[in-house]
Amino acid sequence: MKKNSLWTSKLQSALLFLSAFGVIGLFFAGNNPAKDVEMAKASAKSAFAEPAAPVANQAITLVPPPDLDIAQLVSDATDFYNALSSSQQSTLQQDYTTTLARKWSNLPCGSGCRNGIQLGSLTADQLALAQQVIADVLGTTATNGYQEYSDITLSEDALVAAGASSTQYNSGLRWLAFLNA
């Protein structure tokens, strides 16, 4: 009985973290890595190449990174979850609802339009664990999303260092949620 319970728990954890993958995937939903690679190759052939115009209402297919290791993702996500206080855990892990899934905006609005825990509220150790989960989900190869995520984050910190408002541009203004399906 205990072995079955452990298996069920691991399955639930895997499904939980796959839902986190979907949420983070929504963050980059406008990206199409395969198309981006094709466009980059075409641009490299000619310095004057024009990128293809985006197609309105184009269906987006979320493709997991080729180096996605589910066991490693579950392990890293569990380590992150266990490093949080019980209050932080309840903020991070939420039940999936349609309303919650639609609660997102790219406008400055704080946690009022975001799900999960704010990365800026984490300790350095917790943040390192969260960044590992994000890297696991987005992928770290040249054609995957973690490098873009990292570049955007560093760019926002550079803007603040140059005098931009830290309430609008700030690497801590990211949220991470684990949504239970």
Domain range for residue 134?
2-180
DSSP-derived pairing of the beta strands 175-176 and 117-118:
antiparallel
Instruction: Give me the tens of pLDDT residue by residue for the chain, a chain 181 residues long.
Output: 555 555 445 545 544 444 554 445 444 444 444 444 444 444 333 333 344 445 555 566 666 777 788 899 999 999 999 999 999 999 999 888 888 777 777 666 665 678 889 999 999 999 999 999 999 988 887 777 888 888 988 998 898 899 888 877 888 888 899 988 7
Are 170 and 156 a contacting pair, CB within 8 Å? yes
Give the whole-angstrom CA distance, residue 100 versus residue 11. Answer: 23
> Is this prediction's pTM over 0.95?
no
Are 66 and 38 a contacting pair, CB within 8 Å? no
Structural domain count of the chain: 1
